[in-house]
A and B are shown apart, each in its own frame.
Chain A
Amino acid sequence: MPDIPDYINAATNFPGTVHPTAGGGIVISKLDEVINWARSNSLWPLVFGTSCCAIEMMSTAAPKYDWSRFGFEVARATPRQADVIIIAGTIVNKMAPVLKRLYDQMADPKYVIAMGACATSGGPFFYNTYSVVKGADHIIPVDVYIAGCPPRPEALLHALITLQQKITRGDTREQIKTDKS
């Protein structure tokens, strides 16, 4: 078997070992790890985009970058069925309560990716703007931040894989939120 780097391995390989017995084998694993493995490989994103980052997000979903290779293809139009919200774009003061409400409506476990400069810090709208929230983490807790304005689809894929690694590592939600790696 070729040497697969850990960062690919972690998200896809089933956690456990096969204990051979006569006529077959028994898979030995931990239930927590199996649950995390299942969760990380089937993260359903919410259809949520407020500006140009959403175009890059759509591109990431489209055939050229195709995030379904990593288990993200089931984009949901309702927060009740979504696992991860990708904040793709500027959050203005008027949008903030809507974002909070969408996040509150998502079922646990739920994850948040702040995509691009606006969602991370307000970005180009940090100074001299009356309407923009200076970072979506003022509204809801963020698990993974992506730099860029807008980030390339590769950067979004990297963030999604980073989130998968955090989940497979077995961190609790609180640990994921505070993890700076």
Chain B
Amino acid sequence: MTNESLTIQINDCLPGAVIESGTEWLTVLVSPSAWKPFASQLRYSPLLEFDFLFCVTGIDWKTHLSIVYHLRSTVHHHTLVVKSLLDRENPEIQTVADIWRTAEFHEREIYDLLGVNFLYHPDLRRLFMTDDHTGWPLRKDYEDPVNMIRL
């Protein structure tokens, strides 16, 4: 499916969706509360059928956090990027680990390094850092006076 026809499909699923174009992949901005039902539609709608979540990214923008999902359909061979902006003080978004199993570890990693709380995640605990670690190492304001030498 081309980006144009994908845009029409997305508008059907999520009326009033904020869609950015002009890049190789179509990008949709969703609110955290709208993400989970939208994700279900993306996965199970026969015309969209995004069956492959190939990347989940967390970003700290200092004013807010954002999560970026990269989706691809191995049936229709189209790609979609979904972004969601989160509150930095209380970052919460629903998990999609039950839709795409790979999200389980991707979300654990983002929780581990940026402290995003993925609601209803089956096993949300530290991945790289030790279980007793406190703080979110990839936050821009993270400080660790014991291990870090600031330049």
The residues of A with any CB-CB pair to B shorter than 8 Å are 93-94, 126-131, 134
Contacts and interface: CB of A to CB of B under 8 A. Distances in A.
A134 B146 CA distance: 12
B142 interface: yes
A131 B150 contact: no
B151 A128 contact: yes
A127 B137 contact: no
Contact of A131 (B137, B149, B151): B137
Given A127-B150, A130-B148, 4 more contacts: A93-B147, A94-B128, A130-B142, A130-B147
B147 A128 contact: no
Interface string B120-151: 00000000101000000100001010011111
A131 B130 contact: no
Contacts of A127: 149-151
Contact of B149 (A93, A94, A134): A134
A129 B148 contact: yes
B11 to A, nearest CB: 43
Interface of B: 128, 130, 137, 142, 144, 147-151
22 contacts: A93-B147, A94-B128, A94-B130, A126-B149, A127-B149, A127-B150, A127-B151, A128-B148, A128-B149, A128-B150, A128-B151, A129-B147, A129-B148, A130-B137, A130-B142, A130-B144, A130-B147, A130-B148, A131-B128, A131-B137, A131-B147, A134-B149
Nearest to B135: A130
A48 to B, nearest CB: 20
A93 B129 CA distance: 9
Contacts of B149: 126-128, 134
Nearest to A94: B130
Contacts of A134: 149
A139 to B, nearest CB: 14
A97 to B, nearest CB: 11
| Interchain residue pairs A-B with the least CB separation, the first 8 | A127-B151, A130-B144, A130-B137, A130-B147, A130-B148, A127-B149, A128-B151, A128-B148
A126 B150 CA distance: 9
B53 to A, nearest CB: 26
Most chain B CB within a 10 A radius of its CB, from A94, A128, A130, A131: A130
Contacts of B147: 93, 129-131
A54 to B, nearest CB: 20
A135 to B, nearest CB: 12
Nearest to B144: A130
A126 B149 CA distance: 7
A126 B147 CA distance: 10
Nearest to B150: A128
Contacts of A130: 137, 142, 144, 147-148
Contacts of B150: 127-128
Contacts of B128: 94, 131
